[in-house]
Structure 1
Amino acid sequence: MTASPAPRRLHRLRPLATALLVAALASACSILPKPEPVDVYLLPATRTPPAASPALALALRVAKPETSLHLAGQRIVVLPEGDRVSVYKGASWSDPAPLLVRNRLLDAFHGDGRIAALSSDDRSLHADLELDSDLRAFHSEYRDGRPEAVVRLDARLVAPASLRILASRRFEVRHPAASADVKDVVRAFGAAADALSAEVVAWTLENAAAPAAR
């Protein structure tokens, strides 16, 4: 019994179909837009000398701030006009903004040196106090045609055992950028974060030493 011609024709067409499929895929890949090149920025920091005061015998946990959706990512946010939210093209932070702020606060406490037992919310270690917060602003906005970095943090000092809020305060720092260039805006963010962290450290230490925090 001889083989029918249809299977033989199908067998001969398979290589042609494969070649056409590969060509189509290659053509589709060539017309897709190329990914936008992105410069990744660390949050700049300045070193501060440790405090001369004696250390406090307590453990502090610094939690990552909660924030809104538009501040939760790694893009560098700008308010170019009014309430319109945008981002700097081709620029990104090395980490999401809440993580940058938490780590900057931890660095500030380490640099100050008056609380030696420090941890973050990455680990469930024992803590006498927890610094909880909401990141309300971490963007640049224009004032009189000049960009400035704005960092706003609602902080709470909490006793973890009872979840009691011992103290709360809103912190806000604005720092003008030298120009509209992204690198200068990033430097302004670093200066604003440093100033805000110093204020948070001083406030935390003041309330941690109060009788209510013991």
Structure 2
Amino acid sequence: MTTRFFGAIVITLGIATAAGCTVFPNPEPPRVMDLAWSNTERAPASGIPFVLRVDTPYASEPFNSTRILAKPSDWEFQSYPDVRWRDTVPMMLRDAMIVSLRRHAGFADVIAETSPAEANLTLVSELSAFHAEEPGGYPRVNLRLHAQVIDAGSRQSLCRQTFTVEQDAEGPAIEQVVQAFGDAGQSLTARMIDWLSGCGYPPAPETVRARQP
């Protein structure tokens, strides 16, 4: 009986394969999410006559991934099922920071680390939290980033700051959690712009001053 049973399975699998079918259903592809920025207006900062290069934040696992993370306890991370970020978290944050800094920070230019253009300053950072917790009630997003500005010529650190953001979600649904991540990211970049405006920059080089209107 056992031989006939396994023989029947083999025959069934062979028929399914020949017909271009699979015995097991194909899993649904995960939903792909992006950081959602609210359409808030902010006056541009005063002109900073430097080109700023934004490096991708350094992050170790599990933050250096596309998983949307929750932390139900101090010792465990979990990921929301059937959903992921459009890119790794550090790449998304880098892209978001570049967009916000170009619009509002007042630099002569803001470029990514992949750009072949020269820069006077480099923004380097380390990401140590980007997850949701549930301390009671709805999820709360936690974001923590340590950043510093490096002079491209001397390699000296001009200023440094650790940013910590907590943002409550409006509900438990994944869309509301993703929106809370976006709100936390927007709060981060707003604080970063204020911080960058007070950084102790050296005198602008002649080549940079010549480009200013």
1:137 counterpart = 2:137? no
Partner SS for 2:22? helix
How far is 1:35 from its partner? 2.5
Q: Match for 1:139: what amino acid?
A: H
2:131–2:141 Cα contact (<8 Å) kept = yes
Q: Which residue is equivalent to 1:17?
A: none
Identify the match of residue 68 of structure 2 among 70, 76, 94: 76
For residues 142 and 64 of structure 1, what CA distance do their matches in structure 2 show? 28
Q: For residue 31 of structure 1, give the secondary structure of its aligned residue in structure 2.
A: coil
Do structure 1's residue 95 and structure 2's residue 87 form an aligned pair? yes
- Whichever residue aligns with residue 111 of structure 2, its letter is S
Question: What is the Cα deviation at residue 155 of structure 1?
Answer: 0.2
Secondary structure of the residue that 1:171 maps to in structure 2?
Answer: strand
Higher helix fraction (1 or 2): 1
Shift of 1:37: 3.0
- Aligned partner letter, 1:136: S
Match of 2:180 among 153, 174, 188: 188
Tell me which residue corresponds to 2:17.
Answer: 26
SS in 1 for 2:26: coil
- Note if 1:156 corresponds to 2:135: no
> Residue 120 of structure 1: CA displacement?
0.6
Task: Confirm or deny: 8 A CA contact 1:48 1:111 kept in the other structure.
Answer: no
Gaps of at least 5 residues in structure 2 are: 1-10, 205-213
Q: 1:107 to 1:211 in 2, by over 3 A?
A: closer
| Bigger Rg, structure 1 or 2 | 1
- Equivalent AA in structure 1 for residue 92 of structure 2: L
Measure, in 2, the Cα distance between the counterparts of 1:187 and 1:200. Answer: 20
Cα drift, residue 24 of structure 1: 7.0
- TM-aligned CA deviation for residue 103 of structure 1: 1.1
* Aligned residues between the structures: 192
CA contact (8 A) 1:49 1:111 kept: no
What RMSD, in angstroms, separates the aligned Cα atoms of the two structures? Answer: 2.3
Q: 1:176 aligns with which of 168, 174, 186?
A: 168
* Letter paired with 1:155: A
Q: CA deviation at 1:47?
A: 3.0
Aligned-residue offset at 1:81? 2.4
| SS of equivalent to 1:146 | coil
Structure 1: gaps spanning 5 or more residues: 1-19
After superposition, give the CA deviation of every residue in 1:135-175 in whole Å (9 maximum; x if it has no partner). Answer: 11111111114211111101011012222111111101010
Q: Give the corresponding residue for 2:77.
A: 85
Aligned equivalents of 1:71 and 1:53: distance in 2? 31
Residues 17-70 of structure 1 show CA distances to partners (whole Å, capped at 9, x for unaligned) of xxx8x9278189723452343111111002343425532211111111010121
Of Structure 1 and Structure 2, which has the larger fraction of its residues in strand? 1
Per-residue CA distance 1:105-161 (angstroms, 9 max, x = gap): 111112215113110101232111111000111111111142111111010110122
* Residue 167 in structure 1 maps to residue 159 in structure 2: yes
With normalisation by structure 1, the TM-score equals 0.81
Q: TM-score, normalised by structure 2?
A: 0.82
